[in-house]
Structure 1
Amino acid sequence: MPYSLKHQLSLALFFVFLFGFAQQKPAQKDITITGNVLEKTSKQPLEYATVTFTNSKTQKITAGGITNSKGEFSIVIAPGLYTLQIEFISFKPVLIKQFFKENTALGTLALIEDVSQLKEVVIRAEKSTVEIKLDKKVYHVGKDMLVKGGTVSDVLENVPSVSVDVEGNVSLRGSDNVRIFIDGRPSNALNMAEALRQIPADAIDKVEVITNPSARYDAEGGAGILNIILKKGKTDGFNGTLIGSLGLPETYGLNANLNYKTQKINYFTSTGYSYRTSQGAGTTNSQYLNPDNGSILKYINENRDTKRNRKGINTKTGAEWTLNPTTFWTNSWSYRQNNGTNQDQVTYNNLDQNNHFVYTNYRLNDGKNTGNDWEFASNFIKNFSKSGHKLTTDASYSKEKDLDNATINGINNHFVDQSTYSTTNNTETQNQFLLQADYVLPIKEGSQFEAGYKGNFNTLNKKYAVLSTENTFNTTNPLSNTLEYNEKINALYTQYGFKTNKVSYLFGLRWEDTNIAVNLLDTQEFNTKKYQLFFPSAFVNYQITDQSNLSISYSKRLSRPRGRYLDPTANLSSNINIFRGNPDLDPSLTDKLDLGYLQRWNKLSWNTSVYFENTTDVFSFVRYESGQFVGSTPVVLITPINLGKEQKTGFEFTLNYSPFKKWKINSSLNLYNTTTTGNFSYTNSNNQLIIQSLNNQAFSWFTRSSSRLSLPYKIEWQASIMYFGPSKTAQGKSLEQYVVHTAFSKDLLKEKATIAFNVSDVFNSRKMKNRTNLANLNSYSEFQWRKRQWNLSFTYRINNKKTDRDKTNPKNNEEEGSGF
């Protein structure tokens, strides 16, 4: 080959190589695209909006994700030319075609409602009744037909992780050391079960379940926090809903949720009247033993029939003032008034040692109660120029007054001289003042600093007097007294959160100074509890994919005894089985560790948690002989004590599934094993010191499932079943129970109205059953607070379509931090 040809060929190969090398691009780093998706009209964040990046050259989707609870997204892509599409059901999509070559913050992206689609998305546009989030579960009351015409207690029965016993006492993951908040403020009602029955379900927007709170939240509540959020309208103009209901046993109510919104001010009210009747029943069959040889002395079968009615009004009225685009001031006034009667008839069938009938006596309890409470609350929010940088302050003052009177007649036809007559009078006044400030400072992308203060000051005075011909209690253990409760809690907290790649961290520390006095003035018994404690918390979340997360969290929690735990007022509806609180209880401390996994698909989302709790000075209820007698029958007291130590290991599973667009299923399962150690000593009726080991290991579980299905003729059907498995206790066993609810609804008047019918406790099976074994007593008991209930409700919407999105959250106020 001639030289020139070789030279030319070599030169050509060189240029080909050089050209190919020039075409090779150096390794490029991925970039991050962020943005915030809002609804244009209300400026509310759109959670679960879909964000997709389509490569303009290949026309293939190369990246995507969904927005979080604040409407934010952060997606990693390779540099290039893309078509960005943001979609949300019933809203017009947003399309952006752009060449992205570096990290880009797109800012706020507003979506406009697509009116043409509204009629087609009646079902798809609704949120699920239960939203599963990594740090909490949110139960939307408005979507649940089963609670129409009911109360907050009925609402909580359907909330994942929560159980409500037949007496209305609330538990979270099987523990009743749970803190109840209403609109982010703690409720310190002395009788929490009764307080929750006074708020109608129609006034509730949603319930947040926070099983492992961060340092931002109150340390109180060993099991966690339930935040009950009341309805507050936010839609422009005048709109709202009117809800009327009636039922059997005799129940009726009327509730109005209205608001009028202008450019600067939003006026809102949720006001209602209710009248409720509930019937209950109970049985306690007792076998009394000879302490010397264990032989049977006698039997007493105690049957109880109860009838209660409540009537009352409640309102929350206020206004939110937009001072400027970054400053908001909300003031509200709440008032509740309730009156009621309690009729309780107890029949005692007395039998001899051979179980042969001897005689019957009766106890009639006729009680009346009146109560009213009001609260003024003010919330101020200042948003600074940097996104997420804000200051929030809250202040509230509340006052509650309750009066309970009762007459109790003990009728003994066999031994007339043993007939008794008693009167009780309880007057209770409570004042609470709360002051709080929270500051949030974003430091850089993916990290922020928070700090705050909270002061909670609570005073309660309860005068309870009993005049009785019975000698159930002696002078060293009187029935009458004056309870004075003073509580001062000051708290400071700080926490810092940051994100590196797919891992998010949140570390916090809370300090609380507690000063509590529980005094019985008439008997000069003074109990003071002072302590300063630190409460650390740590949360780590790993985002496996856009649809799945793994998290681990730790927090230290505190349970202060409240309500019936402290109240020494004796419940005298029975004179041989008497409940009373213990004013000398100490707080219990809990270390909580939780490992959680969350997975979402198109039609399915589920969350699992494995948790461990270690509690010291745990509260436990015990039954023991008081040393007093009614005739020859020893009086048994039921009271709480600080037992010792409790360790709980559990597994929780929550699932949302929609097989097709007309069918939604929510299910949850909670399994836990509890190991308790401790001793209890008392003096029995023979003046013997009894030391009882309360060491116990028990496996417990409960499950619930709710199904909602669209039937022909646009009828909606919903049903739920809850089952509570048996569990061993230190003094016996609690037996299994189940309850079934069902409901139907249909839209009327071009979807301006809805009629709903529900049946609560279809099979009349909601009964608390227990077996108790003491040295001188074996007993079996059943108690049913409320028998089967039928309810019919009618909802009418004023300038408010059924398909309108939920717009009740305070504007620019992060849901997680509201009120805490």
Structure 2
Amino acid sequence: MKLKLLIICFLSVISTTFAQAPSAAIGSVSGKIIDKATKEPIGYASVSVKEGEKVITGAITQESGNFNIPNLELKSYTLEVQFIGYKTLTKAFTLTNADKSINFGTIAIEAEATQLEGVNIVAERSNIVQKIDRKVVNVGKDLIASGTTASEIMNNIPTVSIDPQTKELSLRGNTNVRVLIDGKPSNIEASQLLQQIPSSSIKQIELITSPSAKYNPEGMSGIINIILHKNSNDGFNGSINAGVTFGETPKTNTALNLNYRVGKVNFYSNYGYNHGINANHGWVNSANPGQENLQNFEFRNLGNSHVLKLGMDYYINDKNTLSFYTNQNIAHTDGYGQTTVNYFDAANNDTYQHFDNENENKTHTYDLAFKHDFAKKGENIEFQANYSKTKNNEDTDYDNTETITNGPLFKESTALNLIDGVTDYAQFNIDYVNPISESLKLELGAESRIQTTESDFVSTEDGNEYITPYTFSKDSNYDFTFDRNIHAVYSNFSKQWNAKWSSQIGLRVEYYEINGDFHRIDNSFQSNLVPQTSTETQDDTVTDDIFTVYPSAFVNYMVDEKNSFNFNYSRRVDRPSIGQLSPIREWTTPLMESKGNPTLEPQFTNSIEVNYTRNTKMGSITSGVFYRRINNEISRVVYNDPNNIDRKILSYDNFDDNNAYGVEASANLKFTKWWAANVSADAYFKTVKGTVQNAITSELENAEADVTTFNARMNNTFTATKDLRFQLFGMYRGEDLSLQFKREAMYKADLGLTYNVMKGKGTFTARYNDIFDTMHFAFDGNIPYRQYGAFYWENQTFYFGFNYMFGGGKNRALQRKQRDANETQGGGMF
């Protein structure tokens, strides 16, 4: 009911706005807004036309920085330009019969922060800009100070959450989200990748909740694109960041960004290193009928990760650019853990499992691109080839003991699990952009993605049972090969109708094919009075090919300089990942094992959203509503292990259609000269579906639950002096519901400060995380039987770090030409 009321109010605002009619007039004013220091165009700046102190009309600049305000009476006005993080600029002008249209040309506005030549400028506080198909979070020092890695600062981004236990990423309450780095994919799991990227290396975070036809349609929630720092100033420039986090165990992080521009060549690099021990523990009380028990868990992992990016841009001439970069990622973890299961009934055998594991992940990525600019301004064509190879290795030793309560008889076993996985991924793109006119733009492109994965799993188990004396051994060999090929073409048409209306429609056509082969051999031996041997084999094949169309549509309506609306529609797909398809186990405990389902099919989502942005003197406020229709939904399924009646299998399956919807709001506000804040809140409503096994009858049953989740964040920045700033961050994550349990609410508060030294080139950062020690995971559930518990990690920590920027290069005419051609100076190859 609350949601319906909120939507009605939202639509009422729209209808009232549409009812406003422009006043009759005959003059106009136009121009282009750019950054005074970098000369880059500034999109979505507020341009107002004032008569005295009264605002007559206005507009929001396009992404190119251009604006045009028509329908003005012939008289004297003041033009006022505002954008978050920049000083307000005013210009007087007069419209007459002799001069009805005034074009100011290029208008440069100055950032509030002191500008340093030759280095990456980082604003004191972050801001969020709503564009036609995405929200862009410009990362400032306040966000960088909130965490040492990308994973840690994500919880400060509106509508984004990181599970503190599993590090799983979710967007708008859903984990089906795709992560790109500088617009390019990575074979590394998002949960691992985000922990490897230093926060100080991040320039922007783009939240693309309704991607256009140009983008890969995978990910129901959309795309998160992380843009890393890179500049192309002449000479040598860079920055270094180092910090230590103190908790139960210390953790270190280091990030180095370098850039060297000479002549027509620009070299750049990013390096990040993270090292430390993560310790956590937890417990689960289970009321499984006849097997009531208490489980205790303890985990400790020593992690080391290296992320290196090396790149080069070669400006052949004003029209042609060749770019190359490579990413080298290495992560190594040595882990220890133990699980104890104590049964309340003496008839059940208590179990104890100890394991030591070693995991290594290596990913090598190579990207080559060529861009050609035609004679027409804005017309270009780009070719791109991307190849990556990922190797995953796991070596785990298990020691298991099963005892009779208060008795001398027991069963013991040791197991060795070796997993080797290799993934080869290649992607080829061609993209063409043609601004047919000042108001009409055409985009065409084609893409091919070829992926091959091979996974080998070897398991050996040896043991003795003294209850009915015998020895046993079992060897298992699993081989899984998976090929996935996707070929696509797309087109986008963008139209600027006038100063108020703009739109974009697109269509993407894809052909998708997969081929998977699974082979398993089990050899077992049992020796007692009569020795027994047995061999079991299993072969499965998965094939599929799908031809699908993905439309998208965007409409942007700028009522005036203060109010704008955005309407989006897109169709997306969630194709099963290799982990969801592979029948090789992902992890195992004495009572649970997780593995994939080779018969899983893709799920499709139709998404609609409406956003409203309000610009005020204090800042900008963006609110929105969205709705998703999900077909053939992928969800979890739990059933008994056919080879072990005491253990459950956690897997995946397809279910009936489903609906999800939500509301969200975010704001960048500057209350006073000394107090600014980023505030966001969101609420999501969905129905969770799945299959669970009845604890009494062992029959599989469909189950569902209605879920409402509320989240809120507030990051305050208090300016004490020019160089000293304090941050106060608070977050609340409301309770969430799955089929098996309810996750209790989670909340925390952090306190930090930043202090600039060396004329702003150096910054000290200190932060006390979770000052009240309230952040932990707790749950309570009744399906398929009552169980409740909690998990704890190193949440209360103290961080101290230092960042230093160096270099003195200056921009040259070549770079200005490229900026005037509306080229992006972001990370990656562009």
Shorter-chain TM-score range:
0.7 to 0.9
SS in 1 for 2:292: strand
Alpha carbons of structure 1 residues 599 and 261: separation in structure 2 relative to 1, 3 Å:
same
Describe how 1:95-134 pairs up with structure 2 within 5 A: 106=103, 109=106, 111=108, 126=124, 128-134=126-132
Contact 2:579 2:595 in 1 (8 A): yes
Q: Deviations over 1:745-770 (max 9, x none)?
A: 21122322111122344444443333
Partner of 1:739: 748
Alpha carbons of structure 1 residues 744 and 231: separation in structure 2 relative to 1, 3 Å:
same
Q: Deviations over 1:370-425 (max 9, x none)?
A: 22212111233333333332223322111111211111112346566322211111
Partner of 1:603: 618
Partner of 2:549: 534
Which of these residues, 428, 450, 462, is aligned with residue 435 of structure 1? 428
The alpha-carbon deviation at position 658 of structure 1 amounts to: 1.2
Describe how 1:440-455 pairs up with structure 2 within 5 A: 440-455=433-448
Partner of 1:245: 243
Contact 1:351 1:359 in 2 (8 A): no
State which drifts further: 267-276 or 525-534.
267-276
SS in 1 for 2:410: helix
The alpha-carbon deviation at position 54 of structure 1 amounts to: 7.3
Larger Rg: 1
SS in 1 for 2:279: strand
Partner of 1:403: 393
Kindly tell me the number of residue pairs found equivalent between the two proteins. Answer: 764
Partner of 1:504: 502
SS in 2 for 1:699: strand
Partner of 1:667: 679
Partner of 1:184: 183
Describe how 1:648-797 pairs up with structure 2 within 5 A: 648-676=660-688, 680=691, 690-711=699-720, 714-775=723-784, 777-784=785-792, 786-797=794-805
Matched, 1:213 2:211: yes
Q: Deviations over 1:63-111 (max 9, x none)?
A: 5445343322222253758688686777896969686868969596263
Matched, 1:260 2:260: yes
Contact 1:719 1:740 in 2 (8 A): yes
The alpha-carbon deviation at position 657 of structure 1 amounts to: 1.4
Contact 2:133 2:568 in 1 (8 A): no
The alpha-carbon deviation at position 305 of structure 1 amounts to: 1.3
Structure 2 Cα separation of the partners of residues 116 and 236 of structure 1 = 22
Structure 2 Cα separation of the partners of residues 273 and 140 of structure 1 = 23
The alpha-carbon deviation at position 243 of structure 1 amounts to: 0.7
Structure 2 Cα separation of the partners of residues 636 and 60 of structure 1 = 69
State which drifts further: 379-388 or 226-235.
379-388
Contact 1:149 1:246 in 2 (8 A): no
Which of these residues, 371, 380, 386, is aligned with residue 390 of structure 1? 380
Alpha carbons of structure 1 residues 463 and 31: separation in structure 2 relative to 1, 3 Å:
farther
Partner of 1:75: 69
Contact 2:660 2:685 in 1 (8 A): yes
Structure 1 Cα separation of the partners of residues 569 and 86 of structure 2 = 40
Partner of 1:483: 480
Describe how 1:311-326 pairs up with structure 2 within 5 A: 311-326=304-319
Contact 1:732 1:772 in 2 (8 A): yes
Instruction: Give 2:823's aligned amino acid.
Output: N
Structure 2 Cα separation of the partners of residues 202 and 786 of structure 1 = 22
The alpha-carbon deviation at position 49 of structure 1 amounts to: 5.2
State which drifts further: 428-437 or 495-504.
495-504
Alpha carbons of structure 1 residues 386 and 662: separation in structure 2 relative to 1, 3 Å:
farther
Matched, 1:550 2:586: no
SS in 1 for 2:213: coil
Which of these residues, 330, 335, 341, is aligned with residue 337 of structure 1? 330
Structure 2 Cα separation of the partners of residues 105 and 438 of structure 1 = 36
Describe how 1:229-240 pairs up with structure 2 within 5 A: 229-240=227-238
Matched, 1:171 2:170: yes
CA RMSD of aligned residues (A): 3.7
Alpha carbons of structure 1 residues 785 and 391: separation in structure 2 relative to 1, 3 Å:
farther
Matched, 1:379 2:369: yes
SS in 2 for 1:660: coil
Structure 2 Cα separation of the partners of residues 445 and 468 of structure 1 = 70
Q: Gapped runs of 5+ residues in structure 1?
A: 1-26, 290-296, 802-806
Partner of 2:418: 425
Q: Deviations over 1:314-358 (max 9, x none)?
A: 2111122222234333211211122221111222223228xxx99
SS in 2 for 1:545: coil
Describe how 1:616-631 pairs up with structure 2 within 5 A: 616-629=631-644
Structure 1 Cα separation of the partners of residues 336 and 61 of structure 2 = 54
Matched, 1:588 2:603: yes
Q: Deviations over 1:272-305 (max 9, x none)?
A: 322122111222211121xxxxxxx242111111
Alpha carbons of structure 1 residues 104 and 527: separation in structure 2 relative to 1, 3 Å:
farther
Instruction: Give 2:685's aligned amino acid.
Output: N
Instruction: Give 1:277's aligned amino acid.
Output: I
Q: Gapped runs of 5+ residues in structure 2?
A: 1-22, 466-471, 521-537, 810-814
Partner of 1:306: 299
Instruction: Give 1:220's aligned amino acid.
Output: E
Which of these residues, 645, 650, 673, is aligned with residue 638 of structure 1? 650
Alpha carbons of structure 1 residues 551 and 628: separation in structure 2 relative to 1, 3 Å:
same
Alpha carbons of structure 1 residues 452 and 648: separation in structure 2 relative to 1, 3 Å:
same
Contact 1:206 1:230 in 2 (8 A): yes
Structure 1 Cα separation of the partners of residues 765 and 712 of structure 2 = 26
Alpha carbons of structure 1 residues 90 and 236: separation in structure 2 relative to 1, 3 Å:
farther
Q: Deviations over 1:643-670 (max 9, x none)?
A: 2222012111112211013222112222
Alpha carbons of structure 1 residues 616 and 105: separation in structure 2 relative to 1, 3 Å:
farther
The alpha-carbon deviation at position 112 of structure 1 amounts to: 8.1
Contact 2:638 2:692 in 1 (8 A): no
State which drifts further: 526-535 or 40-49.
40-49
Instruction: Give 1:186's aligned amino acid.
Output: P
Structure 2 Cα separation of the partners of residues 471 and 674 of structure 1 = 49
State which drifts further: 436-445 or 669-678.
669-678
Partner of 1:35: 31
Alpha carbons of structure 1 residues 66 and 568: separation in structure 2 relative to 1, 3 Å:
same
Alpha carbons of structure 1 residues 428 and 148: separation in structure 2 relative to 1, 3 Å:
farther
Q: Deviations over 1:458-509 (max 9, x none)?
A: 111111222124799xx9x996412222111111111212132322221111
Structure 2 Cα separation of the partners of residues 117 and 577 of structure 1 = 56
Matched, 1:157 2:155: yes
Matched, 1:494 2:491: yes
Contact 2:58 2:560 in 1 (8 A): no
Matched, 1:347 2:344: no
Alpha carbons of structure 1 residues 602 and 60: separation in structure 2 relative to 1, 3 Å:
closer
The alpha-carbon deviation at position 60 of structure 1 amounts to: 8.8
Alpha carbons of structure 1 residues 541 and 115: separation in structure 2 relative to 1, 3 Å:
closer
State which drifts further: 731-740 or 456-465.
731-740
TM-score normalised to the size of structure 1?
A: 0.84
State which drifts further: 527-536 or 688-697.
688-697
Instruction: Give 1:212's aligned amino acid.
Output: S
Partner of 1:44: 40
Contact 2:761 2:805 in 1 (8 A): yes
Alpha carbons of structure 1 residues 675 and 44: separation in structure 2 relative to 1, 3 Å:
same
Structure 1 Cα separation of the partners of residues 517 and 105 of structure 2 = 56
SS in 1 for 2:152: helix
Contact 2:74 2:100 in 1 (8 A): no
Q: Deviations over 1:555-605 (max 9, x none)?
A: 111111225433433244521122223232211000111122111111131
Partner of 1:3: none
Structure 1 Cα separation of the partners of residues 774 and 45 of structure 2 = 43
Structure 1 Cα separation of the partners of residues 703 and 201 of structure 2 = 43
